[in-house]
Chain A
Amino acid sequence: MHHKTIVQLSAALAAGECSSEELTRAFLERIERFNPPLNAFITVTAESALAQARAADQRRRRGEAQPLTGVPIAHKDIFCTDGVRTSCGSRMLDPFIAPYDATVVERLAAAGAVMLGKTNLDEFAMGSSNETSFYGPVRNPWDLEAVPGGSSGGSAAAVAARLTPGATGTDTGGSIRQPAALCGITGIKPTYGRVSRWGMIAYASSLDQGGPLARTAADCALLLGAMAGFDPSDSTSVDRPVPDYATLLDRPLAGLKIGLPKEYFGEGLDSAVAQVVEEAIAEYRRLGAETVEVSLPNSALAIPAYYVIAPAECSSNLARFDGVRYGHRCEDPKDLLDLYTRSRAEGFGSEVKRRILVGTFVLSAGYYDAYYLKAQQIRRLISDDFRRAFEQVDVIAGPTSPTVAFNLGEKVDDPITMYLSDIYTIAVNLAGLPGLSMPVGFVGQRPVGLQLIGNYFAEDRLLNVAHRYQQTTDWHERSPAGF
């Protein structure tokens, strides 16, 4: 049962082949057995999962089931869950029991999905390897010596190891797509504004966007359909109808124009990864698509601009963690300043502190124009690059990550090298575009992801383009040995 996709599980539930309670028990047992080596879950909500499963079974008996009713999922522990610890991978929020549900959590629950638990992540979603979590690193089910990617590493590892059929994630600079690539699954970061950020703990507010991770594009279509849509509680939520993604998956690819950015295939890309990506692109040609070279000339500026904008927004967002109203407080503060500075020093890990300090510096008096304003101007240049490319092509394709999963500990002491692992994903966030990663092969035993980038609100097209590939290939069906 655990090898079935969400689409298949949904059909099995509808056909009465199993109940949601049986399914939920089966996944909870798998989590109990396989989570210890992976550390993919921070919290398992077994009791409430079974209660939700029984409620889903009753709902189905009443004839009120939707496609996700009774399907188990997991939430990245960055989404607030009423009455359940929401840690964001940080000691700061280790004692935090969220007093309300995030809109994403509420919508998936309303669709009848069952929450198995909360998945591990880089602290406050700041990282590309899931090694900055207060709860310890997550391991990659394809190779326990390898990182799963980050920051949604727990969600990606859990899906890849079949501990859950689908999970939520968030993506500020690649945090859905990069772990999806490194764990051999499918994940989509929607257009900025497509999925509500209400109750999603903020890292960099102008870049953060929630989305699903699952085995296939068809599964992501179902999850995204339930997650997306206007939310008055999020001031940046876009009021625009959500297409029925699941019914738009089968459109043929004949005539599709795929742009290949020359900057994404140059220096820095591992040659074995390049070869796998080229083979996937050749498959698209066989499916009737036309490929053309495009240029995104300002690509090299994306990481520098991101490491101004994201830390600036992070330093401002994380100012709220002051040890007063919720979260960690130091022992015996001698005065208010001591309470703030020590609570924050004890509550945050070193990568979060680095980003807060960088952000504080670039926003400080005298430096704003040289750093923050300059970065915002570069953001415009990058966005204009994509705008010009989408005048020529329907989607853009390339590698998700320059390498396959690296080893635990390999980059953890060198922030700059770690930052470079997001070289192909960050520009998409700066422009606010949707991007998807899906598995297209392996180098050794470690998976390779293909990234597809679409125009604003073209999630339906990305899911369709990925789905057609998955109809004629079986990379998405491979599962790691031992799980």
Chain B
Amino acid sequence: MSLGPAEVAKIAHLARLAIRDEDVPAYARNLSAILELVEQMNAADTAGVAPMAHPLDMAQRLRADAVTEPDQRAHFQAIAPRVESGLYLVPKVIE
């Protein structure tokens, strides 16, 4: 599968990555080469093979529905780019 500039722009939007126009051709080239590599998978017959999501066949462990975490908001907000009155600040969302 070969990706063109429009497709790269669409994927970049889905990934929330700003890409400069001048970098789009290089991404298109690299991503197409990577997809060409991964398409070597098509040589394998996988009809009826159960997909393997996880290396160990284990059930997801559950824990009791109990509060285990203390409130560390101030601790965590100390490393935030911008906070005010315990809130994370971002640009205005609603005009």
Interface residues of B in 27-54 (CB under 8 A from A): 27, 30-31, 33-35, 37-44, 46, 49-54
- Indicate if A325 sits at the interface (CB-CB under 8 A): yes
Chain B residue at minimum C-beta to C-beta distance from A433? B55
Complex interface: chain A residues within 8 A of B86 (CB): none
Complex interface: chain A residues within 8 A of B60 (CB): 235
Report whether B46 and A378 are in contact in the complex, using a CB–CB cutoff of 8 Å: yes
Give 1 or 0 for each of B54-79: 1 = CB within 8 Å of chain A CB.
11101011010000000010011011
Report whether A206 and B34 are in contact in the complex, using a CB–CB cutoff of 8 Å: no
A376 to B54, CA, bound (A): 9
Known: A324-B88, A344-B18, A415-B33. A381 touches B54 (CB 8 A): no
Report whether B75 and A99 are in contact in the complex, using a CB–CB cutoff of 8 Å: yes
Stretch at the interface among A63-71, A139-147, A335-343, A469-477: A335-343
A407 to B55, CA, bound (A): 34
Report whether A378 and B44 are in contact in the complex, using a CB–CB cutoff of 8 Å: yes
Report whether A357 and B81 are in contact in the complex, using a CB–CB cutoff of 8 Å: no
Complex interface: chain A residues within 8 A of B54 (CB): 206, 236, 432
Complex interface: chain A residues within 8 A of B43 (CB): 301
Most chain B beta carbons < 10 A, residue from A305, A326, A327, A357: A357
Known: A99-B75, A345-B18. A358 touches B53 (CB 8 A): no
- Indicate if A456 sits at the interface (CB-CB under 8 A): yes
B76 to chain A, nearest CB (A): 6
- Indicate if A300 sits at the interface (CB-CB under 8 A): yes
- Indicate if B6 sits at the interface (CB-CB under 8 A): no
Report whether A358 and B34 are in contact in the complex, using a CB–CB cutoff of 8 Å: yes
Report whether A325 and B76 are in contact in the complex, using a CB–CB cutoff of 8 Å: yes
Report whether B91 and A307 are in contact in the complex, using a CB–CB cutoff of 8 Å: no
Report whether A298 and B44 are in contact in the complex, using a CB–CB cutoff of 8 Å: yes
What is the interface residue range for chain B against chain A? 35 or more
Complex interface: chain B residues within 8 A of A105 (CB): none
- Indicate if A329 sits at the interface (CB-CB under 8 A): yes
Name A326's contact: one of B18, B39, B79 (CB within 8 Å).
Answer: B79
Report whether A304 and B11 are in contact in the complex, using a CB–CB cutoff of 8 Å: no
- Indicate if A323 sits at the interface (CB-CB under 8 A): yes
Complex interface: chain A residues within 8 A of B82 (CB): 329
Report whether A340 and B16 are in contact in the complex, using a CB–CB cutoff of 8 Å: yes
Report whether A357 and B38 are in contact in the complex, using a CB–CB cutoff of 8 Å: no
B6 to chain A, nearest CB (A): 13
Complex interface: chain A residues within 8 A of B46 (CB): 374, 377-378, 381
- Indicate if A479 sits at the interface (CB-CB under 8 A): no
Report whether B41 and A360 are in contact in the complex, using a CB–CB cutoff of 8 Å: no
Stretch at the interface among A39-47, A266-274, A348-356, A444-452: A348-356
Complex interface: chain A residues within 8 A of B79 (CB): 95-97, 99, 326
Complex interface: chain A residues within 8 A of B30 (CB): 354, 415
A456 to B56, CA, bound (A): 9
A178 to chain B, nearest CB (A): 18
Report whether B49 and A381 are in contact in the complex, using a CB–CB cutoff of 8 Å: yes
Chain A residue at minimum C-beta to C-beta distance from B39? A304
Chain A residue at minimum C-beta to C-beta distance from B61? A235
A148 to B55, CA, bound (A): 29
Report whether B44 and A357 are in contact in the complex, using a CB–CB cutoff of 8 Å: no
Report whether B16 and A322 are in contact in the complex, using a CB–CB cutoff of 8 Å: yes
Interface residues of A in 230-273 (CB under 8 A from B): 232, 235-236, 238
Report whether A301 and B40 are in contact in the complex, using a CB–CB cutoff of 8 Å: yes
Complex interface: chain A residues within 8 A of B12 (CB): 341, 357
A276 to chain B, nearest CB (A): 28
B34 to chain A, nearest CB (A): 5
Report whether B55 and A192 are in contact in the complex, using a CB–CB cutoff of 8 Å: yes
Known: A324-B90, A377-B49, A383-B52. A358 touches B8 (CB 8 A): no
Please give the residue numbers on chain A whose beta carbons come within 8 Å of chain B beta carbons, in ascending order: 95-97, 99, 191-193, 206-207, 232, 235-236, 238, 298, 300-301, 303-305, 307-308, 315, 319, 322-329, 333-342, 344-345, 348, 353-354, 356-358, 360-362, 364, 371, 373-381, 383, 415-416, 419, 430-433, 456
Instruction: Please provide the 9 A-B residue pairs with the shortest distance between their CB atoms, ordered closest to farther.
Output: A432-B55, A376-B51, A329-B81, A377-B46, A345-B18, A341-B18, A380-B52, A360-B15, A377-B49
19 pairs, A vs B, C-beta closer than 8 Å: A235-B61, A307-B37, A315-B15, A319-B16, A329-B81, A335-B91, A335-B92, A335-B93, A338-B18, A348-B17, A353-B17, A353-B27, A354-B27, A356-B17, A357-B27, A377-B46, A378-B44, A380-B51, A432-B55
Q: A304-B37, A341-B18 are in contact. List 5 more A-B contacts (CB 8 A).
A: A193-B58, A354-B27, A357-B31, A376-B51, A381-B44
